[in-house]
Chain A
Amino acid sequence: MTITRLIASSAVAAIVTAGTSFSVNAQEREVKLSGFGAMSGVVRSFGINSKAALEAAADEVNKAGGVKLGDGTKGKLVIEYFDDRCNAEEGISVARRMASSATLVGIGPTCSNVAEPLFGILQKKVGDAGDSGLQFPVFTDVAIKVGLAKISDWAFRNVPDEGAMYRALFQWIKKTQPDLKTVFGGVEEDFAHSRATWYAVMKEVAAKEGFEVKGEAKWLLADTNFTNQAREARRAAADIIAISAHPFTTCGMLKEMGRQGVKPKLVIGLTSSSSLETLQGCSAEAEAIIIPTSFAPVTPEAQAAAERAAKFNGSLDLHSGAAYENIAILKSVIESEGVMAKPDTVQADRAKIRNGLAKLTETKGLIGVSKRTPDREAVKPFLFVHAKSGKWEVLHTPTN
């Protein structure tokens, strides 16, 4: 009885305090931006890195004097980060929490299965009074599944365009290693992103560039036994094996290929696998795997950003690199659109930021200039990396 009462009352107290702890200090104008993503489960490293990148980027902006607001005063960026546990309902709940606070933009989420429902609860067409969806801009750094931003006018993404990346990769292979003619795929079937990347991107692009696609082996996200798939790969005897899967099964498949003595001349990986995860899972087997990525510390800006993120206990990769860039992009939008960041202008500020983001045709990124498309997606510069003695090294930088 007492315990029940205790739990009930502390539940209410905790929710109320957590929900209302946002107050804006009148003296020092705060510009609140919130990140959200997975801080638990298998994708926890994504959340940790994005959070660190956001904090590092905001810290850098604040040190340089903050952002100039619409009435000429200087504002300070404040970052909050919410865990959505890669769960659709929790992601929606977090979005509503952010929209109910003074937060101007949400940056996230990690998982496409959160991004998709979340974009669905946003207003579809801006200005449509009959649509009661949330009017809150979301600027995604990680969730990469093809074509999500078109779900809502309030959804923006700064994620790589895989079509362009893999087209360039296959073109480059054709030019530098003309003796490689056949491709065999490996695809994680039950994850929307990896599945789409093989069928809609890698497979089509390879065929278009004149490679012979000799089929694909399929497996599921949590599979551990790859004997059948590795045998199919051996039978196909292709020059190139393209694996569209996340690190856990990429490593599992590579290990089984090693056991069965499947030695293709080249292995290509999924862009999300160009992270620390693959190296922790199977650096020996992943040696020489080539992956196109939209981040590597190749420019002075990128190096400095990586060092700053490390100070906030995160590592910068293609995903968290985008989170870092998003802060810089938002800073320039806030300044160009005259955002006020006052308690009574929250909704107007959000609309300004949305319009500002929609207007952009180009943004400056850590490794070069990104183009922005009319359906609110990015075409980011990229480069090819390969795993070399337990590290990702830049193999080639295409001129794009």
Chain B
Amino acid sequence: MDFYLGLLQIMGVHTLLGLSAYVVLLTGQVSLAQAGFMAIGAYVAAMLTVLSGWPLIAALIAGALVAGFMACLVGFPALRVHGLMLVVATLAFTEIVRLFFFNFDYQIARGSIRVGPLGGEGFRQIRYFPENGWTTLHVAIFIWSVVALVMAALWWMDRSRAGAVLRAVGEDEIAAQSCGINLTAVKVSAMTAGGAIAGLAGGIYAHYTTHIEQTNFTIMVATFAIAYPILGGLSSIFGTVAAVVFIQGFLIEGLRFLGDWRNLLFGALIVLVMNIRPSGLLDARTMATLRRLFGRREG
């Protein structure tokens, strides 16, 4: 049981990571900066609980705010460029953040040991959950409450005018601009929201793995952040959840019984899914079908 709850925790954090990229992808921008925002959220939140003794929720919110603020700052210059240029610019950002933490030491003495981030050695003993007696079940429920909150906010946004505006920019920037939409404002807002969600994911990540170091926030993590919404489909937030279940639940944990084939199939199945469902696991048509089915059952 403990194992499934642990897996649920991981899925929750990866869902947040995927959703952070989803918001940005809606505006048609591919951002590899999510791992950088995640790192910022992770370090800020962990330093607040471990070094300053803040309660967890306050620390997580602070981590998300700092990450969102950084996303806003980076968004203004970065979003001047498009397509592959933006991919590489955001990749550079993620690397800069990672290398910053690689060179970042801030330790204070607590009793006989020193705690805090120590460059390449990492930041150990972020044990808020076990120290406060949170069981795996508590942590899983907590994480999914956060995920549900974020999803509800995004779902509501998607249905409101804001969602329409984001998608309009994603579909055709020039058309959107001629309708009087302020492109920069929309894109930077999306980037800021995405950064804050990624920061939240990072804060939780730091606390359930209890140890963070620069190698946890690489380009590969950023790649998976965009992989979830792309694999899942951009027509709804549930696509991202489906993709997280597919990758974390099926490809990583579910295929364990295949032994060495698991690792080979990992990439191969991603290629296969993109070939048979280029618009994602839950594309617009599937969503429409689901909605119809759902509606019929209700009626």
Contacts and interface: CB of A to CB of B under 8 A. Distances in A.
Q: Do chains A and B touch in the complex (CB under 8 A)?
A: yes
B6 A93 contact: yes
Nearest to A115: B211
B58 to A, nearest CB: 21
Given A85-B263, A120-B209, A132-B129, A14 B214 contact: no
B256 A116 contact: no
B242 A190 contact: no
The bracket for how many chain B residues form the interface is 35 or more
Interface string B98-129: 00001000000000000000001110111101
Contacts of B136: 96
A196 B10 contact: no
B286 to A, nearest CB: 5
The bracket for how many chain A residues form the interface is 35 or more
B209 A10 contact: no
Scoring A8, A21, A96, A131 by chain B CB atoms within 10 A of each residue's CB, the highest score goes to: A96
Interface in A172-214: 189-192, 195-196
A96 B134 contact: no
A113 interface: yes
Interface stretch (B27-35, B179-187, B195-203, B246-254): B246-254
Given A1-B286, A4-B286, A82-B256, A120 B124 contact: yes
A217 interface: no
B242 A4 contact: yes
Nearest to B255: A14
A85 B242 CA distance: 23
A12 B209 CA distance: 25
Contacts of A132: 129-130, 133-135
B121 A14 contact: no
A11 B273 CA distance: 14
Nearest to A11: B250
B3 A121 contact: no
B127 A8 contact: no
Contacts of A96: 2-3, 5-7, 136
A7 B250 contact: yes
A85 B251 CA distance: 13
A89 B102 CA distance: 20
A10 B245 CA distance: 11
Nearest to A17: B257
B122 A18 contact: no
Contacts of B252: 90, 93
B284 to A, nearest CB: 12
Contact of A120 (B4, B7, B125, B262): B125
B130 A93 contact: no
Contact of B127 (A12, A83, A120): A120
Interface string B267-295: 00000000011000110001001000000
Given A96-B3, A120-B125, A7 B262 contact: no
Contact of B289 (A1, A40, A117): A1
A121 B122 contact: no
B210 interface: yes
Interface of B: 1-7, 10, 102, 120-122, 124-127, 129-131, 133-136, 208-211, 213-216, 242, 245-246, 249-250, 252-257, 260, 262-263, 276-277, 281-282, 286, 289
14 contacts: A4-B282, A14-B250, A15-B254, A39-B260, A88-B211, A92-B10, A92-B208, A93-B253, A100-B1, A113-B215, A120-B127, A121-B208, A132-B133, A132-B135
Interface of A: 1, 3-4, 7-8, 10-12, 14-15, 17-19, 21, 39-40, 82-83, 85, 88-90, 92-93, 96-97, 99-100, 113, 116-117, 120-121, 123-124, 130-134, 151, 189-192, 195-196
Give the top 3 A-B pairs by smallest Cβ distance, nearest first.
A120-B210, A14-B254, A11-B250
Given A90-B252, A99-B2, 19 more contacts: A4-B281, A7-B281, A8-B245, A11-B249, A11-B250, A14-B257, A15-B249, A15-B250, A18-B254, A39-B263, A40-B263, A85-B263, A93-B6, A121-B209, A130-B131, A132-B129, A132-B134, A190-B102, A190-B120
